[in-house]
Amino acid sequence: MQQPRNPRRIDHIVMPVTSLSASRTFFKTLGFTVAPAASHPFGTENACVFFADGTYLEPLAIGDAASHAAAGQSGAIFVSRDTAFRFRRGAPGFSGIAFKTDDAEADWCAFRDAGLADGDLFQFARTFEAPDGTRRELGFRLAFAADRRSPDLFFFACQALAKPGDRSALTRHANGVSGIAHLVLSEPQPQDFQPLLQDLLGREDAETGPEGLRLAAADAVIEVLTPAGLAGRYGAERNAERGLRFEGVVVRVPDLGSVEERASRGGLNARREGDCLVVPLAEAGGPFLAFEATA
């Protein structure tokens, strides 16, 4: 695949959840500002967590089950992917990585030529509501890429067709989080997916070691850890089944102690793992949100 002129930048992370209300409670307990809920025309809804570095998390719930099912049956690739992830992995979790682009059509052609394109170009519009109640229409064009060896993770280039306006109030968080530091994937043989990730990120270099590999996007690091590496670094578990899985997101915060106190007061099961504070998305463990102290 012809690589991008510059390393790709992360746009956002797709995070399937069972309930926006429960997701909002989770994030607010940890000191995040959460945007008002917004609905998609294909049955899903989100309540995003925006960061000052231009990235965001997209907690995604099914708001209209009938519309969601109909869109999936009609071949809407975003919905098909969401349905498959919920069936295979459940929620909450992390299912997709979106990269910023100014030309989703060119990205789709590159994905197609590399045998990675997943479905057709996908375009939609939704309403964005600012904290002051101002509403405006936003449009997006998406080009999806997938590796059939990894049914639980997809990638896409996300082109914003209209600027969202000033959302700076939504990027200010009581916990001081400023953005995404790492995306944590896992696979028993990480090097098998090194060429794929290098192509997608537009990077030729990668750090490799016994615990996995690290590749740098323009604004964050993607780690692909072995099960042993995942356990040693973040105290998380996975089995030996093959395929990339999206295990966690690590965000930057000025003070781990204050977040740890918030988690404790809110009854969340936070734990220290090395220089990180790890908070599972669910009581049973599994996918996690982690905090890394900024220098």
Spans of all domains in the chain: 10-171, 179-293
Fold topology of 10-171: 2,3-Dihydroxybiphenyl 1,2-Dioxygenase; domain 1 (3.10.180)
Cα(81)–Cα(283) distance, rounded to whole angstroms? Answer: 25
pLDDT digits (tens, 9 = 90+) for 189-231: 999 999 999 989 888 888 889 999 999 888 889 999 999 999 9
Count CB neighbours of 273 within 10 A: 15
Q: What is the DSSP letter of 37?
A: P
pLDDT of 295 higher than 70: no
Asked whether the beta carbons of 246 and 94 are under 8 A apart, the reply is yes
Same fold, 10-171 and 179-293: yes
Burial class for 173, CB neighbours closer than 10 Å (0-12, 13-18, 19+) = buried
Residues in Cβ contact with 121 at an 8 Å cutoff, skipping those fewer than 6 apart:
104, 105, 108, 141, 142, 143
pLDDT digits (tens, 9 = 90+) for 80-136: 899 999 999 999 999 999 999 999 999 999 899 888 888 888 887 766 666 666 666
Q: Which two tokens stand for residue 241?
A: 């089944």
> What is the share, in percent, of the chain residues with pLDDT greater than 90?
63
Mean pLDDT over each residue of the chain, to the nearest integer: 90
pLDDT digits (tens, 9 = 90+) for 48-94: 999 999 999 999 999 989 989 988 888 888 888 999 999 999 999 99
Pick the CATH number of 179-293 from 3.40.50.150, 3.40.50.10700, 3.40.50.300, 3.10.180.10: 3.10.180.10
Cα(59)–Cα(41) distance, rounded to whole angstroms? Answer: 16
Asked whether the beta carbons of 224 and 186 are under 8 A apart, the reply is yes
Cα(141)–Cα(118) distance, rounded to whole angstroms? Answer: 14
* pLDDT attached to residue 21: 96
